[in-house]
Chains A and B, each alone.
Chain A
């Protein structure tokens, strides 16, 4: 099964994935034209700050079975068997928000989309860039990510890389007091400084 795998420690909050997502879901698919479109295309992936200025790119996980599909009274949510994607049939969506209540990741949003001619808001969540996938391309957010925070591939392959990485770190760290860092020292020291800034600033966690 192919999926977009998130390596949260590599997300640096640039929001390039958000921009790429909005472009991909616009009519023109062009950065310089899309802002003239009505309705405006908006990102379906969300990079938000957790604590200490650290970020996580949150998008639809395309669950199976998908809670959103299970609760949808109009069967507006459908599974694309080939890619495993959960797709919204916008014209069937009645905007009841039951899917958003069921979603474990809080990623469902209601927006106007150009595919629906009426000015009503529908579930405009991530469609896994199904058109791109059909054309043999990876999702737009993954293509935009330059740090490897978002990766596309067979889920077990991607997990295997993480597993191997962990194994190497475990072995290398064995018998020493110093843990082999997964994150470059300079990036880690920046994050340490920002954690301190967060501790004395308005975003301090109570």
Chain B
């Protein structure tokens, strides 16, 4: 279908902030390729009951909905009120998110165990220091043991957390004592990873929980089992296997795709297979094959959080975040997109079918019809990776140069700021950062995290909020799609300190760091927790006392519900840019945005406008500073 180029350009400007994204959005429109923005338009109007959280579709007495205007039905068939329906729906979403993170963590631990037992192919124990630290946490003796023996015991101890009957999660002890006491007081100390998720499912069954506040408190406990459990284990196990990230520099945006090399996009969240693909791409035989097929080499690029994991540890360039997945394919230059799981559009194979791109599904949990299935198994990971690279190379001659358009300017970026790396950059202790906070050079820090959502201009929420915060001398730490957005906008460069307020600018210049720090993938929000925990411990306070904030300006996913909740449950005030499905219950809104302060010294807020969101975060930070007497 013919589309007026001016119309396409205008539409692209509405859809995305980044120029290179706009360029490919236009191309997709001219090529007739459907994207998430088109599907969102076709979904209008979206059901108000659902958006307000007052539709209950759990049992077959329903589906039921509550009239938000008060004249129609006030209770579902079972008798559930708007408060209860909203609370159950929210706990459902939260548990799905916690399950996604935690199941990812479990899979990395299984690879760690296999590696320790010599059953995996291509993997090694890389970070022995971290392994030793965790062994000590679990009281696992290391004397006279090989790293494999220690790793085996550590992996088993961590895997045990999922179904533990000891009623506590080891890593929750990493929180400052005061924060731990706060959890105990509220009755939300997590007891195991799987248990909290399973119990969430139980509690939302008809005839179980009927007290909305009690249901939501369990939501906080479930989120803590993710943040201080499943996600944290995913981060640490990945660090042991693949190395704890250190600052590096790389490139970002769709321009990282190569015109004359074989392009392989690694998309999803769990890096276990992609790490082996990185190894496989260095295979001399495959490199030679690529040349034989007319390519200048093999170009691996990341996408979403698998991309973030590879970027953090190896400086692999990253093509983009969630809403870039279709655009990458629409460049016409992708030979293979490898997917593991989470945030992969179910329609990705339909998008790929418009070009020569092959989609390779690698997880038994995440098969996609139309994709080539190459199951990931630790014991054959390297072989499978080589096969995938070979497939990409053999697909290279099928690329149609007439249908290729790659934006020509990738942006330079810095990444690799693990909690350990930040601490090391500061000289081994947080004292310099604490001093800067006390002196007011830096007012505080905000973790800007979360997804993309086509309802908001792609990257606009992340980038505008980040810019607004650094201007106010608030350090920004990021993960996930947010970090990739900032990368595209040039905020992850030391030079971006020029956009910061004088205080933050001077600190960044002295340390040679960007004002916005890329801390990793979305499970790496656990690194942000550890950053807060370690600063609090050095000060002898709780995380809830620190001048910190959280924000998810463009969130869409249930995982973001869990992350925002464990931020808040850990005492961090968190602003959401998209309204959660709670507005159908004034009581739930009041609990989450107001009363929760009396439980965990933090609340949620909803504010799509980035400037107003920055106002809220700044005010919350000032309040905490005042309470600290600084």
Contact = CB atoms under 8 A, between A and B. Distances in A.
A binds B: yes
A180 interface: no
B586 A186 contact: yes
A193 B460 CA distance: 16
Interface stretch (A10-18, A75-83, A103-111): A10-18
A48 interface: yes
A12 B49 contact: yes
Contacts of A119: none
Interface string B502-531: 000000000000000000000000000000
Contact of A187 (B456, B578, B583): B583
Contacts of B577: 197
Contacts of B148: none
A15 to B, nearest CB: 7
Given A187-B52, A190-B52, A146 B67 contact: yes
B589 interface: yes
A60 B293 CA distance: 63
Given A53-B45, A202-B41, A148 B68 contact: no
Interface in A171-206: 183-187, 189-190, 193-194, 196-197, 199-204
A15 B608 contact: no
Which of B52, B455, B461, B586 has its CB near the most chain A CB atoms (within 10 A)? B455
B586 A183 contact: no
Contact of A197 (B71, B73, B456, B586): B456
B15 interface: yes
B48 interface: yes
A186 B589 contact: yes
B606 interface: yes
A183 B70 CA distance: 10
Q: Determine chain B's interface SS by DSSP, over half rule.
A: loop
Contacts of B608: 193, 196-197, 199-200
Contact of B609 (A12, A147, A200): A200
A42 to B, nearest CB: 15
B87 to A, nearest CB: 14
B601 interface: no
Contacts of A190: 51-52, 579, 583
Contact of B72 (A15, A148, A185, A204): A148
Which of A13, A47, A183, A202 has its CB near the most chain B CB atoms (within 10 A)? A202
A123 interface: no
A10 B71 CA distance: 11
A26 interface: no
B171 interface: no
Contact of B583 (A49, A189, A200): A189
A55 interface: yes
A197 B578 contact: yes
Contacts of B15: 202
Contact of A49 (B14, B44, B71): B44
Contacts of B178: none
B584 interface: yes
B52 to A, nearest CB: 6
Nearest to A57: B45
A200 B457 CA distance: 6
Contacts of B41: 202-203
Nearest to B585: A186
Interface string A63-105: 0000000000000000000000000000000000000000000
Contacts of B73: 146
Nearest to B64: A146
B373 interface: no
Given A14-B65, A146-B67, A147-B67, A197 B45 contact: no
A196 B578 CA distance: 10
Interface in B210-257: none
Nearest to A14: B47
Contacts of B610: 200
A203 B151 CA distance: 52
23 contacts: A12-B48, A12-B49, A13-B47, A13-B48, A14-B65, A15-B45, A146-B67, A147-B48, A147-B67, A148-B67, A185-B586, A186-B584, A189-B589, A190-B583, A193-B607, A194-B51, A194-B579, A197-B578, A197-B579, A202-B14, A202-B37, A202-B40, A202-B457
Interface of B: 11, 14-15, 37, 40-41, 44-52, 55, 65, 67-73, 454-457, 460-461, 577-579, 583-586, 589, 606-610
Given A13-B47, A53-B44, 18 more contacts: A11-B48, A13-B46, A15-B45, A49-B45, A146-B72, A148-B69, A148-B72, A186-B583, A186-B589, A187-B69, A189-B589, A190-B51, A193-B606, A196-B609, A197-B608, A200-B460, A200-B461, A200-B609
The 5 closest A-B pairs by CB, nearest first: A12-B48, A13-B45, A190-B583, A196-B608, A14-B47
